A and B are shown apart, each in its own frame.
Chain A
C-alpha cells in the first residue's frame, strides 16, 4: 500500500509532469485562464490518462512485446490514445450526457496533450505490472491537474493586479509558471 502512496506523492510534488518535466504545457498555458475551464480539462485528463495507461499496457504486453515490435510503441500508443479519446467521447455522449457536457469540449484536445503519450511511454519503459501502471497514470494525471488548478487560481488573481501591459498573456504566464516551479523545487529528492 505504501508503495502506491509514494508514487502518488511523487507525481504530485516531486516528479510533477508539468513543473518537473515540462510536459503538457499547451493545455497548462492554454486553459488556465479560468478555474472552471481548468477544472473541466483536468478531470478529462485524469479520465483519459488513467484509461490510456490501462489499455496501452495491454497493447504493449500482448501485441508489441511478443512480436518484438517495441520500436512501434510511439505509433501504437498514439493511435490507441486517439481511438480511445474518440470512443470515450461517443460513449459519454450516449451514456452520460451530463459528464459529456462538462468534459466534451476538452476531449478532442487531449489527443495532442503530450502528458498522455509521455506517461504511457514512461510506463512502458518502467516495466511495471498492470495495476501499478494504471495507478501511475492516475497519479501522474492527478499531479497534472493539481498544478493546472493551482496555476488557474494564480492567474485569476493576477488578472486583477496591475501588471505591466507587456506581461499580459504568455510572457506573464510563463514567468509565473517559472516562479511556481521554484516552489515545487523544494521537494526534489523526496524519498520515503
Chain B
C-alpha cells in the first residue's frame, strides 16, 4: 500500500479491484438468496450500500473513542442499528420490496462485507475515505448482484425488471429463480469473471514488459 490513498482510488478499489462479490467472495447468502429478480437484487444492493456507508462513517468518526477491546460489540451495535433503520424504512415506504427480500434485510447485520469493512477500513481511516470505501464496496456489491439477478430473471422468468423481454415462444427455465439456479448461475458467472480478470492481468503484464 505504498500508493497514497485518495478518495477516487478507494472508491474504485471497492467497485472493481476488490469487488466484494467477484473478488473477495463475501456476502454469499444474499448474493444467492435474493437475486431472483432484478429489482430485488438492486434493492438489496442499495440497502446494503446504505448500511455500509452509514456504519463506515460512524465507526470512522468514533474510531478514536471506541476502545480496541470492545470494538467488535460496538461494531455490531452500530451496524445493527442502521440495519434496523433501513429495515423499518423499507417496510414503511417500499413494502413490496421489503416482503420480496424477507429476512435478508435483517441479515445484513451478519453480512461479512459490512463487518469486514468496519474492521479492515473504517476503524483505521478518516471519515471521508470511509464513506468512499463504503460507497465503492456497496456499489460494487450492488452491481455484481444486480447483474446476477438480471441474468436469472431474464432466463428464469423471461423478464427484465418485470418487463417482458424474451419472445413469446421462450419457455422460461424456472430452475434459475430457485436456490439451485442461484448457485449454478453464480458459479458460471464467476468462471467468466475470472477468465476476464486473467485476460486483463495478462494484458497489463505485457504492457509493463513492453
Contacts and interface: CB of A to CB of B under 8 A. Distances in A.
Interface of A: 19-26, 29, 71-75, 78-79, 82-83, 111-114, 116-118, 121-122, 166-167, 170-175, 177-179, 181-182, 185
A interface: dominant SS: helix
B119 to A, nearest CB: 11
B107 A175 contact: no
Contacts of B33: 21-23
Given A22-B179, A122-B103, A79 B83 contact: no
What band does the interface of chain B fall in when counting residues whose beta carbon is under 8 Å from A?
A: 35 or more
Contacts of B109: 74, 78, 117
A88 to B, nearest CB: 15
Contact of A182 (B28, B180, B195): B180
A79 B77 contact: yes
Interface in B147-179: 178-179
B106 interface: yes
B179 A174 contact: no
Interface in B13-58: 25-26, 28-29, 32-33
Interface string B87-129: 1100000000000000100110111100100000000000000
Contact of A178 (B76, B181, B190): B181
Closest 10 CB pairs of A and B: A178-B183, A174-B187, A178-B184, A25-B28, A175-B187, A75-B80, A22-B33, A181-B180, A114-B110, A22-B32
B159 to A, nearest CB: 22
Contact of B191 (A74, A166, A185): A166
A174 B110 contact: no
Given A72-B84, A75-B81, A178 B187 contact: yes
B103 A181 contact: no
Contact of B106 (A24, A117, A173): A117
Contacts of B183: 22, 174-175, 177-178, 181
Contact of A118 (B103, B184, B186, B194): B103
B67 interface: no
A19 to B, nearest CB: 7
Contacts of B186: 174
20 contacts: A22-B32, A22-B182, A22-B183, A23-B29, A25-B28, A25-B29, A74-B87, A78-B80, A79-B77, A79-B80, A114-B111, A117-B107, A117-B109, A117-B110, A121-B103, A171-B188, A174-B186, A177-B183, A178-B180, A178-B181
A170 to B, nearest CB: 6
B29 A114 contact: yes
Contacts of A19: 179
B200 interface: no
Given A111-B110, A178-B187, A179-B180, 4 more contacts: A74-B87, A114-B110, A185-B178, A185-B180
Contacts of B32: 22, 25
A24 B29 contact: yes
Given A75-B80, A82-B73, A112 B187 contact: no
A114 B180 contact: no
B54 to A, nearest CB: 15
Given A23-B107, A26-B112, A74-B109, A171 B179 contact: no
A29 B115 CA distance: 18
B8 interface: no
A113 B187 contact: no
A78 B88 CA distance: 17
Contacts of B178: 181, 185
Interface centre among A72, A75, A117 (most CB of B within 10 A): A75
Contact of B107 (A71, A111, A114, A185): A114
B199 interface: no
